[in-house]
Structure 1
């Protein structure tokens, strides 16, 4: 869990900004509100942080630094061990920076199109590669993206669960995902689930089912640059399931970038407007 920084003015500003961004979003929080909360002048805020962007960079820097260190550490191991060093370390990092992750989850737009956004994308792509392993098939890449989501989303949605309890629960998901022999169905009956079945179009049942993070689509060299999250034929060679398109037309890309640049629309709103997934929106924004 995030450790409270020393009680100096700069640290107080960062704490107040993190609270406001997590509560009501980056776009709706002004420097004046942060100043009023601390009974400071706006000039005092600007002395330490010339813009809101500077505040955000300071808030996410510790988490990004930890994730980059984790990538280096995992990369030192053989592929199978690297996967679990990455998975366990990713969960530990997300738990250590719970509030920062919640802030990003609330409004990823706060990172804009700058180098920090690109840095986050590179971290996510490298994490997907390490989890998927060398010579990964498309299905391996899909499972890697799913695993990273398992290591992020619950931290936001179960913020009242103690770290050690949630960590154990979160590790259970990737272990099941990568099990060599998943439990077989018996007697012809459907496997039991903890909730209602997912919709036929593959859309998540709720917001909790979406990938958070780092929610980036991995691209596999062996698939000719196709997105790792693009659905493919089933085992029987049947048609791909219907759902939101995995790519956008040039006109849609231009619309998405214009809406994003306006600063008035979240990635969720852009995705809903264009009828695509949020991950697809992120992929095209990152490529801009």
Structure 2
């Protein structure tokens, strides 16, 4: 009688048993998800790349979204831990500890950070997504305080943005050198302080909005497929050119969901086929 709880034959060499196989799956998955996208990377392709059977992957991860969840959990938990440790310290030590902890987390999860910038599928697990979305308010509160004016909160977000952007932009640099360069640059930004605490107000630009005479161009609300003489997006060959529709008809909604459920198409593919924006696709898939 076959033991269904035993790890299936992998079709390849075993390294470290079940745990070794699991780690190999995660390591290869993040590479393939980053390179090809979450939806284009099927479990069959992942298994072929690893030299194992699809059953071996399903033994560790019953569904593909469980792989994303397993990749995201250490990342989200590390940021939560950095926030908790920083919150227990007095200011300004709390601010430095927070920035250092988050920077180290970004450096340890560069591939995942890159995927997060290019594929929203990384947030398919609702609980993980909600945990992630609760972080910004706590981070801002530690950096400038919960009652800070808007311009200081914006400054805090900009400060945090430099960490992730630098980690991704200079990903090929030696980690130790990159860490030192980013953190020293962050200290320089901190030394200047948020706008409300500068000794002299910074120069202000006239940011009146909307500008006098500004006429926004809005995409039309189109519920049905466009006429044949209307061209969306690319170069205009014939007929008039208008913005992409922001509403899908029932048949096209069904088509979008079928493409998404197949696992062979990502949001970009669906948006291109239906002639709509990514935002429109996400609205109907959620």
TM-score by length of 1: 0.62
Q: Match for residue 96 of structure 2? A: 84
Q: Match for residue 12 of structure 1? A: 24
Matching of residue 239 in structure 1 with residue 208 in structure 2: yes
Task: In structure 2, list runs of 5 or more residues that go unmatched.
Answer: 1-14, 195-202, 217-221, 223-245, 261-265
Residues 122 and 47 of structure 1, relative CA distance in 2, 3 Å threshold: same
Distance in 2, Cα, partners of 1:71 & 1:94: 14
Question: Shift in Å at residue 139 of structure 1?
Answer: 0.9
Q: Match for residue 265 of structure 1? A: 267
Q: Is the 8 A contact 2:29 2:46 kept in 1?
A: yes
Q: Match for residue 184 of structure 2? A: 172
CA distances 1:12-51 after superposition (whole Å, capped 9, x unpaired): 1111111111211112111001111112221221111111
Question: Shift in Å at residue 95 of structure 1?
Answer: 0.8
Distance in 2, Cα, partners of 1:56 & 1:181: 38
Distance in 2, Cα, partners of 1:239 & 1:102: 35
Matching of residue 26 in structure 1 with residue 28 in structure 2: no
Q: Is the 8 A contact 1:128 1:148 kept in 2?
A: no
Q: Which runs of 4+ in 1 moved over 3 A?
A: 234-238, 240-243, 260-264
Question: Shift in Å at residue 99 of structure 1?
Answer: 2.3
Q: Is the 8 A contact 1:83 1:130 kept in 2?
A: yes
TM-score by length of 2: 0.63
Question: Shift in Å at residue 71 of structure 1?
Answer: 0.6
Aligned-pair RMSD on alpha carbons?
Answer: 3.7
Question: Shift in Å at residue 112 of structure 1?
Answer: 2.5
Distance in 1, Cα, partners of 2:191 & 2:247: 42
Q: Match for residue 196 of structure 1? A: none
Q: Secondary structure at the match of 1:53?
A: helix
Task: In structure 1, list runs of 5 or more residues that go unmatched.
Answer: 183-233, 246-250
Question: Shift in Å at residue 235 of structure 1?
Answer: 4.0
Q: Which structure is higher in RCO with an 8 Å CA cutoff and minimum separation 6?
A: 1
Distance in 2, Cα, partners of 1:135 & 1:241: 28
Max Rg structure: 2
Distance in 1, Cα, partners of 2:193 & 2:46: 53
